[in-house]
């Protein structure tokens, strides 16, 4: 299937394993160039090598912690510099650890909000200017079904989609969630 992604540049966070890795593979199989990040350098480099070997695609791998604003800024900036454009961002960060809602502390909730919502807002804010330059506007927030609370996903979507709003009707932007 041709999804029209050949030559596009996709940034995928949390791409050393799971949904992030699978998403990066999917983009590379469709001909997109991928920039991937994760906290663990060894697993990240292994994922990048696998994607290159299995797809022949171009992959930029960078260690980055999505809970840190400076890491997100560096990831987006270096990706844009390396590939010369950004077309797609995939905000793939977790939430609170699996468990009973009533057992989560305020610190657990603050950490989950920072990782899930703030990382999405930060990466979207950093990437949108690059994406507007090339007329692209695809943002995909991902949360695991095992994560709680599930209501972060609509919040992420609202934050990401607000970045695409333009004051004039008939905006060129489209956002896929």
Write down the CATH number for the domain with range 9-162: 3.40.50.720
The CA angle 12-15-18, to the nearest 5 degrees, is 125
**Residue 112 confidence (pLDDT) above 60:** yes
What is the mean pLDDT of the segment spanning 96-100?
76
Q: What backbone phi and psi angles, to 5 degrees, belong to 60?
A: -110, 125
- Predicted TM-score (pTM) above 0.75: yes
- 46, 97, 99 from 103: Cα distances, Å: 35, 11, 7
Give the domain ranges of the chain: 9-162
Q: Report how far apart the first and last C-alpha atoms of the chain are (Å, whole number).
A: 20
The percent of residues in the chain predicted with pLDDT above 90, rounded, is 58
User: How many CB atoms are closer than 10 A to CB 79?
Assistant: 26
pLDDT band (50, 70, 90) for residue 139: low
């Amino acid at each position: 299937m041709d999804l029209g992604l050949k030559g596009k540049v996709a940034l995928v966070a949390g791409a050393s394993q799971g949904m992030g890795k699978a998403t990066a593979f999917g983009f590379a199989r469709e001909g997109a160039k991928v920039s991937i990040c994760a906290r663990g350098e060894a697993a990240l480099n292994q994922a990048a090598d696998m994607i290159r070997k299995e797809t022949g695609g171009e992959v930029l791998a960078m260690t980055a912690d999505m809970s840190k604003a400076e890491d997100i800024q560096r990831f987006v900036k270096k990706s844009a510099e390396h590939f010369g454009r950004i077309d797609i961002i995939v905000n793939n960060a977790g939430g609170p650890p699996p468990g009973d809602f009533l057992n989560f502390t305020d610190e657990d909730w603050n950490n989950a909000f920072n990782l899930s919502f703030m990382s999405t807002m930060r990466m979207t804010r950093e990437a949108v200017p690059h994406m507007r330059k090339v007329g692209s506007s695809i943002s995909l927030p991902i949360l695991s079904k095992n994560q709680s609370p599930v209501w972060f996903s609509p919040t992420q979507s609202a934050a990401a989609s607000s970045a695409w709003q333009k004051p004039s009707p008939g905006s060129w932007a489209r956002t896929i969630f």
